[in-house]
Amino acid sequence: MSNIHVAVIGAGSISEMHLKSYQNNPDVVLYAICDLNEERAKAKADKYGIPHVYTDYKKLLADPRIDAVSICTWNNSHAPISIAALEAGKNVLTEKPLCKTVEEALAVEAAVQRSGKVLQVGFVRRYASNTAIVKSFVDNGQLGEIYYAKASCIRRLGNPGGWFSDIERSGGGPLIDVGVHVIDLCWYLMGRPKVKSVSGNAYKKLGNRANVKNLAFYKAADYDASHNTVEDMANAMIRFENGASLLVDVSFTLHAKEDELTVKLYGEKGGAELEPELSIITEKYDTILNLTPQINNLSFDFVAGFQQELNYFIEVCQGTKETLSPVQDGVEMMKILCGIYESSAQGKEIHF
């Protein structure tokens, strides 16, 4: 199988997962790295033995030796870098969210179609083992029609600061940052039904609570708590054309007793919980059974999830697989996320 020459654009926190996973893949040549911050790019180049370092992604994309790029930059640059990379003939793995707006998402989708290249959206949880197991139960009809799903991703303290809390660069707060993962996971496992309407609420009540001491949390590479223009928490009810519904709530901070991550699906024949840990719920001979699959990790395994996602992307680049998270799904997710923000701003349900 041919080697794939890869470049990573954005050398901050999450690039580490991309770089490590590529390094572990024998079919990958880690060829170039780019960051606005040259020192940061050089440090990663030294650590991973990457020969080419850039601060301008356009110069990087001009190198014909590069087959594929990972985009690990702020959300506001995902669309322009994706489009430029596709136009330069590269396959693209872009971190979630696909971009900031529906207009940008449609422009990226058009660039994919024009270029004939693949864009994989970094919905890493789709590639996780617990997701694959539930998907096989769903595909084999074990849950029946899934008509309701519920997801929460609650941080009591966890506004990452820097660009994450600057709406111009991020597009929003916990909804677009972590809500995107759990909404996508439910939607994917529900069979990607067409969205009919959304009703959402986004609150800015607590600020970033940078005053709180003695609790650690995820921070942007350039952490700065002085600027915060994103919501603290959001909730939404999403209705689908097939009658199914999805209820979600997410936060960067909330007066909650503890952090909470739950992803639950309810079908006509059975249910499934992916988080906090994998469980399949069914009924046999008039008895309810909670089944616990015997696997290494019942929850999302961050390191393994990235390895599986990036291995998959490399096979997509080699032409042996079709991506599990195509650009079209990134577009649908942007419609849902932006619809929730719009519903909150207008104080009413948004119909598509």
Ligand X SMILES: NC(=O)c1ccc[n+]([C@@H]2O[C@H](COP(=O)([O-])OP(=O)(O)OC[C@H]3O[C@@H](n4cnc5c(N)ncnc54)[C@H](O)[C@@H]3O)[C@@H](O)[C@H]2O)c1
Q: Which residues bind ligand X (CB under 6 A)?
A: 9-15, 34-37, 40, 57, 72-75, 77, 95-96, 122, 124, 162-163, 177, 220-222
- Of residues 73 and 159, the one with the C-beta less far from ligand X: 73
Question: In the complex, what is the shortest distance from the CB of residue 80 to ligand X, in angstroms, rounded to a whole number?
Answer: 8
Cα–Cα nearest to 163, from 230, 80, 249, 94: 230
For residue 323, count CB atoms less than 10 angstroms from its CB and return exposed for 0-12, middle for 13-18, buried for 19 or more: buried
Tokens of 202: 């986004």
Distance CA 278, CA 35 (A): 37
Question: Starting from the edge strand earliest in sequence, which strands make up the sheet with 91-95, in order?
Answer: 52-54, 28-34, 4-9, 68-71, 91-95, 119-122
Tokens of 266: 């309810």
- Of residues 226 and 294, the one with the C-beta less far from ligand X: 226
- Of residues 78 and 239, the one with the C-beta less far from ligand X: 78
Question: In the complex, what is the shortest distance from the CB of residue 120 to ligand X, in angstroms, rounded to a whole number?
Answer: 12
Question: In the complex, what is the shortest distance from the CB of residue 259 to ligand X, in angstroms, rounded to a whole number?
Answer: 15
Question: In the complex, what is the shortest distance from the CB of residue 34 to ligand X, in angstroms, rounded to a whole number?
Answer: 5
Question: In the complex, what is the shortest distance from the CB of residue 274 to ligand X, in angstroms, rounded to a whole number?
Answer: 15
- Of residues 40 and 264, the one with the C-beta less far from ligand X: 40
Q: Is-contact 209 159, C-beta < 8 A? A: yes
Question: Starting from the edge strand earliest in sequence, which strands make up the sheet with 260-267, in order?
Answer: 287-291, 279-284, 271-275, 260-267, 146-154, 245-251, 233-240, 195-203, 350-351
Question: In the complex, what is the shortest distance from the CB of residue 55 to ligand X, in angstroms, rounded to a whole number?
Answer: 7
Alpha-helical regions (H) of the chain: 15-23, 38-48, 57-61, 78-87, 102-115, 129-139, 167-170, 174, 180-189, 302-317, 327-346
- Of residues 12 and 267, the one with the C-beta less far from ligand X: 12
Question: In the complex, what is the shortest distance from the CB of residue 194 to ligand X, in angstroms, rounded to a whole number?
Answer: 25
- Of residues 203 and 218, the one with the C-beta less far from ligand X: 218
- Of residues 14 and 280, the one with the C-beta less far from ligand X: 14
Question: In the complex, what is the shortest distance from the CB of residue 60 to ligand X, in angstroms, rounded to a whole number?
Answer: 9
- Of residues 199 and 323, the one with the C-beta less far from ligand X: 323
Tokens of 255: 């007066």
Distance CA 208, CA 159 (A): 6
From the centroid of its chain, how far is CA 326? Answer: 12
Element housing 280 (H / E): strand 279-284
In the bound state, the residue with its beta carbon closest to ligand X is 12
Distance CA 153, CA 262 (A): 7
